[in-house]
Copies of this chain bind each other. A is one copy, B any other.
């Protein structure tokens, strides 16, 4: 009991088994009821073999150590962020989703039409419903996308639309302004040349293969590089959402500021990707904004990357009150992320 099970820096001081039990129960009950947990209530719901006075004493200790708080003198206890953190890292037992639920989710995935955007939308819907939180899914971003086909389309004079289809079916498009007019035939010729040379190559390799490019070809190559460079913005609409309405019903979002902060984060296109730092395969739990996202002090996130590391990854997760069912959330996020990873490797790797 004294050995640390995790390698987290600044390990919290060890709690006695009974303190752990009490902390765990307070967290679980508070997550369910959304009301502060009194010593009496805790006693009535669980048989601990001790009196409420003892529980009070232990709660006082847990408060001293920073795991619990008091809204006011005559109220029950509420977990602090530190309390949730301890719960998530030490007390949560099995976060594996029950088999039945896994089956249900897998079944939905296999029923769906086979399109990435629909899958992402489905993933968001499943996360939202299963965790009762707001869910976010961003499209997988291919690291060095290989070209499948490109098309140059003349629209107005001097204005050309470049459409690129990448391996795996991702499509990107961008307009290009010409210095001097070119007709469609000339454009098609360039496109044909690029298609012949560039098939299955990434943008850099294609550029290397084109000796002595014309100004226009250079411009197209630049645009291709820009589209596939790692700094390039993911298209703004490539984030799929669900469950905002439901999570706004939670009591913590009665206060308008809290609700606004949540909506803000939820709507901001880059938010999820800004927050995710964990590699594919692990689930990241952000509790109470963790100092970095001030507004989200009463929100938690359970998020993960999915896909194939170093090749194509996206992010997904849920956003809800700190009073979140962490067990379910972690289990579901992990399971859905795994499913999505399978999809990515099926569709993008060939």
- Residues of A at the B interface (CB closer than 8 Å) are 113-115, 117-118, 121, 148-149, 151, 153-156, 159, 161, 163, 165, 167-169, 171, 173-175, 177, 235-238, 240-241, 244-245, 248-249, 254, 256, 259-260, 263-264, 267, 346-347, 350
B151 touches A149 (CB 8 A): yes
Complex CA–CA separation, A113 to B235 (angstroms) = 13
Q: Which residue of chain B lies nearest to A242 when distances are taken between CB atoms in the complex?
A: B267
This chain: copies in complex:
2
Most buried by B among A115, A240, A245, A260: A245
Q: Which residue of chain B lies nearest to A257 when distances are taken between CB atoms in the complex?
A: B249
Complex CA–CA separation, A295 to B240 (angstroms) = 25
B267 touches A175 (CB 8 A): no
The answer to whether A155 and B168 touch (CB under 8 A), given A244-B267, A256-B249, A256-B254, is: yes
Q: Which residue of chain B lies nearest to A176 when distances are taken between CB atoms in the complex?
A: B114
Measured CB to CB, the closest approach of chain B to A187, in angstroms, equals 12
Most buried by B among A155, A248, A264, A346: A155
B175 touches A155 (CB 8 A): no
Most buried by B among A113, A121, A163: A163
Q: Which residue of chain B lies nearest to A118 when distances are taken between CB atoms in the complex?
A: B236
The answer to whether A113 and B259 touch (CB under 8 A), given A156-B350, A238-B237, A267-B241, is: no
A267 touches B248 (CB 8 A): no
Q: Which chain B positions have C-beta within 8 A of A165?
A: 151, 153, 163
B259 touches A346 (CB 8 A): no
Can you list 9 A-B pairs, Cβ within 8 angstroms, ordered by A? A115-B174, A148-B151, A153-B169, A155-B346, A156-B347, A161-B169, A237-B240, A248-B256, A249-B260
Q: Which chain B positions have C-beta within 8 A of A244?
A: 263, 267
Q: Which chain B positions have C-beta within 8 A of A240?
A: 237
Complex CA–CA separation, A238 to B121 (angstroms) = 13
The listed residue (B115, B163, B236) touching A175 by CB distance below 8 A is B115
Measured CB to CB, the closest approach of chain B to A320, in angstroms, equals 15
Q: Which residue of chain B lies nearest to A156 when distances are taken between CB atoms in the complex?
A: B346
Q: Which chain B positions have C-beta within 8 A of A350?
A: 154-156
Measured CB to CB, the closest approach of chain B to A253, in angstroms, equals 8
Complex CA–CA separation, A240 to B267 (angstroms) = 11
Q: Which chain B positions have C-beta within 8 A of A155?
A: 168-169, 346-347, 350
B238 touches A267 (CB 8 A): no
Measured CB to CB, the closest approach of chain B to A169, in angstroms, equals 4
Complex CA–CA separation, A179 to B174 (angstroms) = 36
Complex CA–CA separation, A156 to B248 (angstroms) = 41
A175 touches B113 (CB 8 A): yes
A263 touches B237 (CB 8 A): no
Q: Which chain B positions have C-beta within 8 A of A113?
A: 175
Complex CA–CA separation, A154 to B168 (angstroms) = 9
The answer to whether A263 and B249 touch (CB under 8 A), given A115-B175, A173-B171, is: no
- A244-B263, A263-B263 are known; give 5 further A-B pairs, CB within 8 A: A115-B175, A148-B153, A163-B169, A171-B173, A249-B260
